[in-house]
Amino acid sequence: MAERESFVVVGQSVRKVDGVGLVKGKPKFVADVDLSDVLYVKILGSPHAHARIVRIDSSAAAQIPGVIAILTYENTPSTRHTTAGQGYPEPSPYDARMFDTKVRFVGDRVAAVAAETEEAAEEALRAIRVTYEELPAVLSIDEARAEGAPVIHDEGDSTGIYEAARNIVADVDIDVGDVERGFVESDVVVETTCETQYAQHTPIETHVVHSYLDSDDRLVLRTSTQVPFHVRRIVAQTLGIPIQRIRVIKPRVGGGFGTKQEVLLEDIAGWVTLRTGRAAFLSLSRAEEFVAARTRHPMRVRVKLGANKDGVLHAIEMEATSNTGAYGAHGLTVLANTGSKTLPLYNKAKNAHFYGQAVYTNLPVPGAYRGYGATQGYFPLETAMDELSERLGLDPIELRRRNHIRVGETSPIFEKLGEGREGVSQTVKSCELERCIAVGAERIGWREKRGARRREGPWVHGVGMSIMMQGSGIPQIDMAAATIKMNEDGSFNLLVGATDIGTGSDTILAQIAAEVLGVPASRMIVTSSDTDLTPFDVGAYASSTTYVSGMAVQRAAEGVRGQILSVAAPMLKASVESLRLVGEHAVGPAGARVSLAEVCRRAMYSSDQFQIAATASCVPSESPPPFLANFAEVAVDVETGRVKVVHYVAAVDCGVAINPLMAEGQMEGAIVNGIGYALSEEMLFSSTGRVRNPSLFDYKIPGALDVPNLDVILVGSYEPTGPMGAKSVGEIGINGPIPTIANAIYDAVGIRLRRTPFTPERVLEALVCERRPKGER
Amino acid sequence: MKVRFTVNGHAATVEGDAEMRLLDALRDVLHLTGTKEGCGEGECGACTVLLDGLPVNSCLVLAAQAEGREVLTIEGLADGPRLHPIQQAFVDAGAVQCGFCTPGFVMSTYALLRDHPAPSEEEILTALEGNLCRCTGYVRIVDAVKRAAVQLAETRLGEARARARETA
């Protein structure tokens, strides 16, 4: 492919292809259609964290006018499955049923009602009488692992659980070299344990699905999803109907961040439609979204680092315990990623050990969340690196420079640890981390500010930094396909299973195709995603779209390009090899040209007729990491414990940014989400496991006033395996704020925070503790 | 119950029960689905519309409260195929990612720029305080508001000049 200097469409911040419709408020989302004929579906959630359902009496509910169907474990399929929308066979356990005879968290599904009105459905929910046999509940990692703990998945028919009798969903253990000996041989050893909280994605559009039968009685699911093809497969499996009978349409999606990589509602809506023949509409309220959608896996992660006096790491150990709530969706893979997306960064350490377990609790269900375990791993890793730099008397920047992975290097972790199984060995082919660090340090004013502890009244300033990597898709597992067909006016249909959930993937995929075809991006008509119309793609997750789906699009475009040239060559009386596609024309060696519209008209209507079209796929053989250097200046109010992020700098290497404005937008959104996660966002629970703050009033996500001065710097590189030199950039930004802010707080006031979020209460408590004489602690 | 009000300059009559929210009247009865529901509790601002020129969360306003009043929604801004300068600024600045919160932000911006044609950074942030976005990190949204302010000022200047020429 062309070198980046010659790109015409790629590298331009072209306008979002769906932007105009969105700013006009056109009916693009699931709920934006006429719902006058639907059955409204509502779900009854469990009031108990752990209980057996002894009896459900829905006779009174069924008498309520307008109630059409009541779904319970007694009249729905009982197939065990996972709600995690992953490749098949899924690495998550089959431990869920549509409706079970046991409830495992407050809010777990008990029953559902379909009625003519929302009011009737709600009244019916209140009229359902459920007799429960309450069971002792497990409300923390430690309780789950305790001897004789209540067994959360004691049913016999679940599969894929590592050790159900001990509440262990997954267990990962990999070794490189001999880590114990490595620590003995090290001159300096530091160890730190950090804990992260229950946090929510909170897309502004909650989960929502609209289902109906088409004129051939096929089930159509219009759903707000990141994984339309996985939805089709899992709904077919759960309801016991053929894949052929289901069509999944993904309209515009109002944000996902991982929570919509889950099949949460489609089975219920689909079942109502199949049973009644009626269209159904099921949408989670904000409170239901908080309780019954997905969250980030809370984790306790211990990191131990051993280094030589010269500041080169010799041994790294990471031990992670992940709370995967009542069901094991993404339990294994998020856990594995905690190690696989962090440890290769410091490949100088010859000895490494990653050990982790994911355990069940009777709390809400974590799932995929942007960052996917790496976020939880980088907190202790980059905290420990900061501590190590202090012990060695080295600048934190210098310590990282001496240890991070570089072009031409590899890490044995790539091969040892993958997506819940062995990984894939790879050599890093693009890495501008060194430059990211330099540019970021300059922008934040590292040299002047580090250790200066500038005071402004009660506010003390400090700066901190961290570095990180992520991946670009799941190598040898992810698969994307794209179809491009040409129209006789020289426009093209680009049909992709890749799932634009607001990320802008429709636009950047159009740019990639347009670059190959020598047309503006506006000549591409993008359709994503519809299982009847678009080719397969695993969906929007694992930072896969730009890299994996982008490559599929590039290949499909190259196929179409070849066909165009073969038609144009006789028109221009020139050889195929001598032609170029430029400015919507095929151009010959002497400058003779023919428009793409003429080329397509010839192929369609006059000579050697055929449809100019191609489909291509991509299964990546590796997962090139984007790299990121984060710098933050914070101010800590030593009287109240409040932490303010004053300036945040993120210098990122995502290869060639296909659309710089959108790449920056991905980073900005991820960083601000990460700042919320670092400072304020936390799901709180009562002593019985009930979510205490299921509203956007009580669960504080950042607003416009909470955003610091934020600089995103795209540090260009060229990834030779990527489409047009690109790597993915969707997730990495969210990993930065926690360790960067934590390290900045330490620089400002000398306290190490090891539990998120860094609320004023926690900061103040640590400050008070720090001020006491050592003996009193 | 029957409620009569003006929506985007057109007379509308809505029939529904007394508890009907303005949001439901707009979305379910009038099929103006540009106004979104993100929380139903007045926290996210996705349902922001202007009621007699003031931004309100239409999930917290009863349809009956709109009786005889004027409602402006996102559908009322564009002039045919031509986007309103605020809408255009949101597209140009990259302020739209998933777009679900966008109509609410655009309406809040509309109210802000009408009252404060040249807002300070602080005024912009305060005006957008009631609107939540989880995709963008707000950076481009604030940029869009600034661009829109400049664009609207230029338009006003152009109109004033045209008027001056006419008088002369």
Instruction: Say yes or no: B91 and B154 in one domain.
Output: yes
CA distance A631 to A624: 23
Q: Are A366 and A296 in contact (CB under 8 A)?
A: yes
Helix (H) or strand (E) holding A505: helix A505-517
Instruction: Say yes or no: B53 and B99 in one domain.
Output: no
Contact A704 B99 (CB under 8 A): no
| Residue A254 contacts B where some CB pair is shorter than 8 Å | yes
The CATH number of the domain where B152 resides is what?
A: 1.10.150.120
Tell me what the mean pLDDT of segment B89-112 comes to.
Answer: 98
pLDDT given for residue A717 in this prediction: 97
Mind telling me how many Å the CA of A284 is from chain B's nearest CA? 10
- In which domain, by residue range, is B50 found? 2-76
* E-assigned strand segments in A148-198: 168-176, 188-195
Confidence of residue B167 (pLDDT cuts 50, 70, 90): confident
| Residue A703 contacts B where some CB pair is shorter than 8 Å | yes
Contact B100 A695 (CB under 8 A): no
Contact A286 B41 (CB under 8 A): yes
Instruction: Say yes or no: B57 and B90 in one domain.
Output: no
Mind telling me how many Å the CA of B3 is from chain A's nearest CA? 20
Instruction: Say yes or no: B91 and B46 in one domain.
Output: no
Contact A254 B98 (CB under 8 A): yes
CA distance A103 to A362: 9
| Residue A504 contacts B where some CB pair is shorter than 8 Å | yes
Instruction: Say yes or no: B12 and B67 in one domain.
Output: yes
Mean pLDDT of chain A: 97
**Is the alpha carbon torsion for A399, A402, A407, A408 positive or negative?**
negative
Which of B37, B39, B139 is opposite residue A668, by nearest beta carbon?
Answer: B139
CA distance A501 to A488: 30
pLDDT given for residue A420 in this prediction: 80
Q: Dig out the tokens for A642 from the structure.
A: 């409040």
Pairing of strands A299-307, A188-195: antiparallel
Give which of A16, A22, A697 to mutate to test B binding, by max B Cβ within 10 Å. A22
DSSP assignment of A566-604: HHHHHHHTS-GGG-EEETTEEE-TTS-EEEHHHHHHIII
CA distance A512 to A494: 11
Instruction: Say yes or no: B56 and B94 in one domain.
Output: no
Q: What is the pLDDT of residues B113-165, one digit of tens each?
A: 999 999 999 999 999 999 999 999 999 999 999 999 999 999 999 999 999 99
Q: How far is CA A648 from CA A427, A438, A638, A645, A654, in A?
A: 31, 15, 21, 7, 18
CA distance B76 to A165: 60
- What's the distance, Cα to Cα, between the start and end of chain A in Å? 63
pLDDT given for residue A775 in this prediction: 57
Tell me what the mean pLDDT of segment A420-426 comes to.
Answer: 91
The CATH number of the domain where B19 resides is what?
A: 3.10.20.30
Count the domains in chain B: 2
pLDDT given for residue A771 in this prediction: 84
Tell which of B16, B48, B76 closes a domain: B76
Tell me what the mean pLDDT of segment A383-402 comes to.
Answer: 98
> What residues of B are in contact with residue A24 (Cβ under 8 Å)?
34, 74-75, 77-78, 83, 87
Which ranges in A206-330 belong to alpha helices (H)? 228-239, 266-276, 286-292
The answer to whether residue A556 scores a pLDDT higher than 70 is yes
- A551: Cβ–Cβ under 8 A, 6 or more apart, which residues? A480, A618, A620, A722, A723
Percent above pLDDT 90 for chain A: 98
> What residues of B are in contact with residue A704 (Cβ under 8 Å)?
124-125, 128-129, 131, 138, 141-142
Contact B98 A285 (CB under 8 A): no
Q: What is the pLDDT of residues A694-750, one digit of tens each?
A: 999 999 999 999 999 999 999 999 999 999 999 999 999 999 999 999 999 999 999
Distance from the Cα of residue A134 to its chain's centroid: 35
Mean pLDDT of chain B: 97
The answer to whether residue A159 scores a pLDDT higher than 50 is yes
Q: What is the pLDDT of residues A457-493, one digit of tens each?
A: 999 999 999 999 999 999 999 999 999 999 999 999 9
A-B interface: how many C-beta pairs under 8 angstroms?
173
pLDDT given for residue A6 in this prediction: 86
**Is the alpha carbon torsion for B156, B161, B165, B168 positive or negative?**
positive
Q: What is the pLDDT of residues A206-245, one digit of tens each?
A: 999 999 999 999 999 999 999 999 999 999 999 999 999 9
Tell me what the mean pLDDT of segment A110-131 comes to.
Answer: 98
Percent above pLDDT 70 for chain A: 99
The answer to whether residue A362 scores a pLDDT higher than 90 is yes
Mind telling me how many Å the CA of A670 is from chain B's nearest CA? 7
Confidence of residue A777 (pLDDT cuts 50, 70, 90): very low
Confidence of residue A259 (pLDDT cuts 50, 70, 90): very high
Instruction: Say yes or no: B102 and B72 in one domain.
Output: no
Tell which of B57, B76, B95 closes a domain: B76
The answer to whether residue A5 scores a pLDDT higher than 80 is no
Instruction: Say yes or no: B154 and B90 in one domain.
Output: yes
CA distance A488 to A510: 18
pLDDT given for residue A772 in this prediction: 80
The answer to whether residue A776 scores a pLDDT higher than 60 is no
Domains of chain A, CATH where assigned: 39-135+207-283 (3.90.1170.50), 299-474+622-776 (3.30.365.10), 478-618 (3.30.365.10)
The answer to whether residue A3 scores a pLDDT higher than 70 is no
Q: Dig out the tokens for A758 from the structure.
A: 């860094």
Tell me what the mean pLDDT of segment A431-446 comes to.
Answer: 98
Q: What is the pLDDT of residues A605-648, one digit of tens each?
A: 999 999 999 999 999 999 999 999 999 999 999 999 999 999 99
CA distance A385 to A402: 12
Instruction: Say yes or no: B69 and B100 in one domain.
Output: no
Mind telling me how many Å the CA of B77 is from chain A's nearest CA? 8
Tell which of B22, B45, B76 closes a domain: B76
The answer to whether residue A4 scores a pLDDT higher than 80 is no
Instruction: Say yes or no: B115 and B68 in one domain.
Output: no
Contact A25 B33 (CB under 8 A): yes
Q: Dig out the tokens for A637 from the structure.
A: 């109010």
> What residues of A are in contact with residue B102 (Cβ under 8 Å)?
22-23, 25
Instruction: Say yes or no: B115 and B56 in one domain.
Output: no
Instruction: Say yes or no: B72 and B126 in one domain.
Output: no
The answer to whether residue A302 scores a pLDDT higher than 70 is yes
